[in-house]
């Protein structure tokens, strides 16, 4: 019997891969990992697959699929234009608290954000102050001194691209007076500048998923 290649691919995928919601589920599975992904600013203004003149296509749907590929339930929505970062951080805090209220262990919750979404994620970390919740910051920290009103909490993974001229290390933010519970940082070098995170490149997706699913990250 002939087996089509797409059938073999489906058999190779994790049983729970590809679960994506726009909001937290009413009845979450308590043994699953829940990953809230916050996209970059360009998606607010130009839709889910916009093209930047310097960085190319931002394939937001493909990023969501990649983040769900090892079984995490991904929660993400397209924000409206000119979203206020502090206000939206409050929305995400409410989503995290809803998951916890519905029985999901805080250790099973990850808030990940890229660029403006990463800036929102830093605010969620600062506002939430639950040490077990985890955060992934993707090109989230512009150069210069750390914002004095932001205090990272929880367990934090930062990933930045060495060719990126818009964002760099989040270590200054993590080394303020009140440090997060844990902080790890990964540097990647794709030559894609800020656009390295526009698509699900393995250089950043693999260490993020290793960290999210407990395998650790390489340095």
Domain ranges of the chain: 22-212
- Measure the CA–CA gap between 110 and 106, rounded to whole angstroms: 9
Query: What pLDDT shows up at residue 29?
Result: 95
- Measure the CA–CA gap between 63 and 197, rounded to whole angstroms: 9
Token pair 């969501």: residue: 64
The band of 217, judged by pLDDT with boundaries at 50, 70 and 90, is low
The band of 145, judged by pLDDT with boundaries at 50, 70 and 90, is low
**Cβ contacts of residue 45 below 8 Å, gap of 6+?**
81
Mean of pLDDT values over 112-117 = 97
- Cβ atoms 143, 117 nearer than 8 A: no
Q: Any idea which fold 22-212 has?
A: Rossmann fold (3.40.50)
Mean of pLDDT values over 150-154 = 93
- Measure the CA–CA gap between 153 and 135, rounded to whole angstroms: 9
CA atoms 121, 217, 200, 77: torsion sign: negative
Instruction: State the number of CA atoms in the 13 A half-sphere of 60 facing the CB.
Output: 24
Say whether pLDDT at 48 is over 50: yes
Say whether pLDDT at 104 is over 50: yes
pLDDT in tens, 154-186: 999 999 999 999 999 999 999 887 889 999 999
Prediction pTM value: 0.90
């Amino acid at each position: 019997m002939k087996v089509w290649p797409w059938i073999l691919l489906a058999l190779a995928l994790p049983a729970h891969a590809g679960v994506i919601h726009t909001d937290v589920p009413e009845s979450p599975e308590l043994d699953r990992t829940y990953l809230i992904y916050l996209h970059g600013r360009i998606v607010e203004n130009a839709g889910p697959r916009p093209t930047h003149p310097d960085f190319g296509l931002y394939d937001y749907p493909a990023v969501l699929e990649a983040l769900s590929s090892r079984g995490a339930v991904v929660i993400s929505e397209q924000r409206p234009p000119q979203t206020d970062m502090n206000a939206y951080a409050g929305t995400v805090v409410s989503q995290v608290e809803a998951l916890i209220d519905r029985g999901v262990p805080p250790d099973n919750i990850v808030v990940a954000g890229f660029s403006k979404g990463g800036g929102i994620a830093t605010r969620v970390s600062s506002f939430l102050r639950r040490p077990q919740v985890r955060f992934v910051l993707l090109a989230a920290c512009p150069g210069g001194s750390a914002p004095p009103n932001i205090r990272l909490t929880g367990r934090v993974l930062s990933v930045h691209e060495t060719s990126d001229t818009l964002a760099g290390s989040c270590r200054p933010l993590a080394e303020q007076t009140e440090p997060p519970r844990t902080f790890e940082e990964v540097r990647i070098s794709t030559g894609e500048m800020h656009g390295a995170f526009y698509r699900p490149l393995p250089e950043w997706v693999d260490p993020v998923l290793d960290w999210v699913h407990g395998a650790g990250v390489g340095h």
